[in-house]
Chains A and B, each alone.
With several copies, the nearest count.
Chain A
């Protein structure tokens, strides 16, 4: 290779051999509990808290600089509106109403998504159906469904749930299906080797193996459910004065109580953060992270 070097290149030295008797390994435990787990957790909160604080600061700064509190109230003004709303109990009430509907729609969307995807993994027809339906309906805005919802479900929460399902179902199905498709062939064969098929195959092999993709579908679905709910409550939500958070936002927006609007939005954010950091990330820690499927 290197013609200028020694003819056959370097030769390693010949070293003496040795052979030791190893005492049984006792010097350190082969396994020991991780000590700083708790501390790390706190730091996680700390770091995220700092990010949130920084965002709040930027917000307040922007608001002061723009100086247009009817359009963009500051962080502090929003907080005081939020406090007022929480103290007089109105906001919590609204949140309760919204969450009740949201969760119903979300769960229904998830179940339907799994049904559709199960069909898609088992038959060619299901595959075509899924790809056609998602390509068709996913881009449709909720207003397209409004007339149908009015006709079929009327003005109650039935329509809200219908629209929520529309917003959760398609992204969820797309992600779940992509996750299913990425399941390693060997794992699939293992499952089928043990005689699993149909729903039990999906449940015991595909779903856990595709969990990372499903999880991000769940997160996206959750977010879009919120977005849709707030938009849809403007239309369906206020029957008999029982409007949720979306209605609260809409009404105050119409009355130009922009600080209350932002208080409502902050509540959406807070709920989002709580769900992300308590529910989703705990779920992640207990599943994909523990199983080494995501770091």
Chain B
């Protein structure tokens, strides 16, 4: 259904989609399309929830979707031989923190029966996968799901509120920016127990964009313009973090504290680039624990071939 010149992109809520906000605001895709002699009609669709995004992609209502790395592996695995969904680009490296307001908890081993760790979806979200991975490292592959028992699925906002204010059963939250940063900023008791980078062995892509093979093959010019635009945006943000923050606040109508936002963007652990980084490990882990059937062997197994991507890992 995808045709050259049409691009519908689904993004979810959050600062991890900053790259797309900049692309949208600066009309970068249109610019690169024109350069290639193509009028690209771009639509940005805001959706909430990974499965809604997947459904929209698989039903052909959008060309490009964004979600965590974990869902990409799942989608890639399930659509092999069908729609052949693969990654398009990374949206940058963000660390995910497991934050707790329980002073007794210093490492994940300290979580007791009374504690509850909030994640977006128990077992299947990126946060859960990383927690499983960390558990596997700590207690061995067999016990990778040990902490799933005290994990609960709570949407980020409620979980953040619970961590900040206390008074509920939730004592841990494996979130994402800006929630984790808000928790740390607003509750002096809150501290980091686990950093996803530590588990993944260094800075790693957190959110990625992906598309169907059909789009990749039938709209090469659009695809190319899109990647160029992302690349431009990544560079723009790296150069002008304040401007990027301003764009984010303006385009999303967000009322987030600008200082906190700038702090997140300029966090040295955060980088904006399109090349994926450190993703294969998670894929391999997921295969090991049986979450996906096929084993990803190399980056181009699950990312579409492109020179800007091939440098990734």
Contacts and interface: CB of A to CB of B under 8 A. Distances in A.
Interface of A: 66-71, 143, 146-147, 150-151, 154-155, 234-241, 243, 247, 250-258
A150 B56 contact: yes
A234 B48 contact: yes
B154 A253 contact: no
A155 B159 CA distance: 11
A255 B161 contact: no
Contacts of B51: 143, 253-254
Interface residues of B, number: 61
A71 B162 contact: yes
A71 B161 contact: yes
Nearest to B169: A154
Given A66-B167, A235-B154, A256-B157, A251 B52 contact: no
A150 B162 contact: yes
Interface in B141-182: 148-158, 160-162, 164-165, 167-170, 179, 182
B167 A68 contact: yes
For chain B, what secondary structure do more than half of its interface residues adopt (helix, strand, loop), or is it mixed?
mixed
B158 A150 contact: yes
A234 B124 contact: no
6 contacts: A155-B56, A155-B61, A235-B52, A240-B150, A255-B78, A256-B157
B255 A257 contact: yes
Given A151-B167, A254-B13, A255-B74, A235 B116 contact: no
For chain A, what secondary structure do more than half of its interface residues adopt (helix, strand, loop), or is it mixed?
helix
A250 B162 contact: no
B160 A256 contact: yes
B83 interface: yes
Contacts of B169: 154-155
Given A68-B165, A151-B168, A239 B48 contact: no
A241 B148 contact: yes
B62 interface: yes
Contacts of B160: 70, 256
Contact of B155 (A151, A235, A240, A258): A235
B43 A239 contact: yes
A146 B54 CA distance: 11
Give the 5 A-B residue pairs with the shortest CB-CB distance, closest first: A70-B161, A150-B59, A237-B47, A256-B78, A254-B124
Contacts of A253: 51, 155, 157
A70 B57 CA distance: 11
B75 interface: yes
B291 A255 contact: yes
Contacts of B156: 254
B153 to A, nearest CB: 5
Contacts of A255: 74, 78, 124, 157, 254-256, 291
B45 interface: yes
B58 interface: yes
B47 A68 contact: no
A151 B170 CA distance: 10
A251 B79 CA distance: 17
Contacts of A241: 46, 122, 148-149
B116 A146 contact: no
Contact of A147 (B47, B71, B79, B161): B161
Nearest to B121: A254
Contacts of A243: 46, 122
A103 B237 CA distance: 43
Contacts of A247: 46
Contacts of B168: 71, 150-151, 154-155
B123 interface: yes
B239 to A, nearest CB: 27
Contacts of A67: 165
Given A150-B55, A237-B46, A71 B158 contact: yes
Contacts of A250: 13, 48, 121, 153
A181 to B, nearest CB: 39
Nearest to B178: A255
A43 to B, nearest CB: 40
Contact of A71 (B59, B116, B151, B253): B59
A146 B48 contact: no
Interface in B237-262: 252-256
B155 A256 contact: no
Nearest to B75: A256
B262 to A, nearest CB: 16
Contact of A155 (B149, B170, B252): B170
Given A69-B82, A234-B153, A239-B152, A256 B165 contact: no
A234 B12 CA distance: 10
B48 A237 contact: yes
Contact of B74 (A66, A146, A154, A256): A256
B5 interface: no
A146 B152 CA distance: 14
